Amino acid sequence: MMKKLLLHLDTDTVASTFDQAVAYDSGVDNIIAHGGATRDNVTSHVHGMIFTRGGKNLKNSAIFIG
């Protein structure tokens, strides 16, 4: 069974623990969290998520930018 993943990108230096706790409570299996997100460095993270889990498995992936 495909795990539900959340890519959590945060503009703060450290990704918010509040946002991660809410995500786990909503049923996410795992969170990949990165702080220091800017418009110049998010593309590779987003591509890493969508291209490795494409097709029917993409429905088990989410991206949150806080």
% of the chain exceeding 90 in pLDDT: 85
What pLDDT, on a 0 to 100 scale, did the predictor assign at position 1? Answer: 83
What pLDDT, on a 0 to 100 scale, did the predictor assign at position 28? Answer: 95
Sign of CA dihedral 30, 64, 26, 15: positive
Residues of the chain with pLDDT under 70: none
Which residue has tokens 């959590």? 8
